[in-house]
């Protein structure tokens, strides 16, 4: 009997528990059943269990959107995978196909083969990190050489993925942090500049770094007061991609300041883009090519054992995290 992670009520890591799972039904034609070897944690997973996500869970609910493993069974219409293949899941808008546990089921559309140059721990850490910033910077803002992009909460896995995506487009990433010890880390990772938002005037510092030109795009998972502090450093036609409220404070859109810069405020979710097949394939292709070239590689902050999965979720809520948190599953 396999075990999975579930929650029966809304709350923090304390509501998570292990539950026995047995595949007691036939797979639907497009489903793939696999033994999980590793799974990655994202703040969106915690938001779901806490009741803060725009996706509303049906209780009791599984948790988790990223896992990698080995195919055990396939549905009758599955064409691209066979038993024994190494696979990784792509996060998408769902409450049915959540994956943290010793086994998981995912529709074929939202599975990929694990890259040959990555292990299971790395393979489960790719898609949320890189797809979240692929669509804003490659497809929407069309970032190119000479463009500057402001990245909030830059030491998170999403922030590090954004730095990589911006650099792959030829742009320059301006990273922000509230931690002195993360400044050197972000500089070494590849940020063009790092701003300590506890010390520096954000808008003034951005304008100094960009020679008065401002930023072409903003990657904002924070909300207020971060939002209000960078508005005067947008260049004409800039785009603000807002996709989170780490601060806990909602944004009141300042129409006048956006009009003065002819700038755009876009409430953004990667899930809206991966739901469309061609859009999903473009993102997967771009990221896979950069992984195969060794340009993209997820930064793993800490690895936990499966029995310590709940401790991993507690660690997720700490502010010292720099990269991805992964749970390895020994179910061989």
Domains of the chain: 2-126+298-328 (3.90.180.10), 130-270 (3.40.50.720)
With a CB cutoff of 8 Å and minimum separation 6, the contacts of 191 are 151, 154, 163, 173, 174, 175
Residue 245 has a pLDDT of 76
At residue 248 the predicted structure's pLDDT band, cuts being 50, 70 and 90, is confident
What value does the mean pLDDT take over residues 232-246? 93
What value does the mean pLDDT take over residues 45-59? 87
- Output the six-digit token pair for 211: 């020679």
- Does the pLDDT at position 319 exceed 90? no
Q: b/e for 144-182, b at 16 or more Cβ within 10 A?
A: eeebbbbbbbbbbbbbbbbbbbbbbbebbbbbbbeeeeb
- Does the pLDDT at position 330 exceed 90? no
CA nearest to 39, candidates 276, 301, 325: 325
What value does the mean pLDDT take over residues 196-211? 96
Give the integer Cα–Cα distance in Å for 65 and 152. 22
DSSP state, residue 211 = T
CA nearest to 235, candidates 255, 213, 253: 213
Residue 146 has a pLDDT of 96
- Does the pLDDT at position 284 exceed 80? yes
Give the integer Cα–Cα distance in Å for 309 and 100. 9
Share of the chain above pLDDT 70, in %: 99
At residue 331 the predicted structure's pLDDT band, cuts being 50, 70 and 90, is low
- Does the pLDDT at position 122 exceed 70? yes
Residue 20 has a pLDDT of 96
- Does the pLDDT at position 332 exceed 60? no
Residue 148 has a pLDDT of 98
């Amino acid at each position: 009997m396999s075990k999975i992670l579930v929650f029966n009520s809304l709350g923090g890591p304390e509501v998570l528990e292990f539950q026995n799972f047995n595949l007691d039904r036939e797979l639907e034609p497009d489903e793939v059943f696999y033994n999980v070897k590793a799974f990655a944690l994202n703040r969106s997973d915690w938001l779901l269990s806490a009741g803060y996500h725009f996706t509303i869970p049906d209780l009791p609910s599984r948790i988790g959107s990223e896992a990698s493993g080995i195919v055990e069974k396939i549905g009758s219409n599955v064409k691209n995978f066979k038993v024994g293949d190494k696979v990784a899941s792509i996060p998408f808008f769902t409450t049915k196909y959540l994956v943290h546990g010793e086994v998981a089921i995912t529709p074929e559309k939202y599975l990929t083969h694990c890259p040959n140059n990555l292990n299971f721990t790395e393979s489960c850490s790719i898609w949320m990190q890189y797809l979240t910033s692929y669509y804003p910077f490659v497809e929407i803002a069309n970032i190119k050489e000479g463009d500057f992009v402001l990245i909030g909460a830059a030491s998170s896995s999403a922030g590090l993925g954004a730095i990589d995506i911006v650099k792959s487009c030829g742009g320059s990433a301006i990273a922000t942090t509230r931690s002195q010890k993360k400044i050197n880390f972000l500089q070494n990772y590849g940020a063009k500049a790092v701003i300590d938002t506890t010390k520096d005037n954000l808008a003034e510092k951005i304008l100094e770094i960009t020679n008065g030109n401002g930023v072409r795009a903003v990657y904002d998972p924070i909300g207020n007061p971060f939002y209000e502090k960078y508005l005067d450093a947008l260049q004409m036609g800039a785009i603000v991609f807002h996709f989170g409220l780490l601060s806990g404070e909602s944004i009141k859109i300042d129409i006048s300041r956006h009009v003065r810069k002819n700038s755009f405020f876009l409430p953004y979710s990667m899930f809206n883009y991966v739901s469309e097949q061609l859009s999903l394939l473009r993102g997967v292709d771009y990221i896979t090519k950069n992984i195969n070239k060794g340009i993209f590689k997820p930064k793993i902050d800490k690895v936990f054992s499966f029995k310590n999965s709940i401790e991993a979720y507690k660690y997720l809520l700490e502010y010292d995290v720099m990269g991805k948190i992964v749970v390895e599953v020994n179910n061989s």
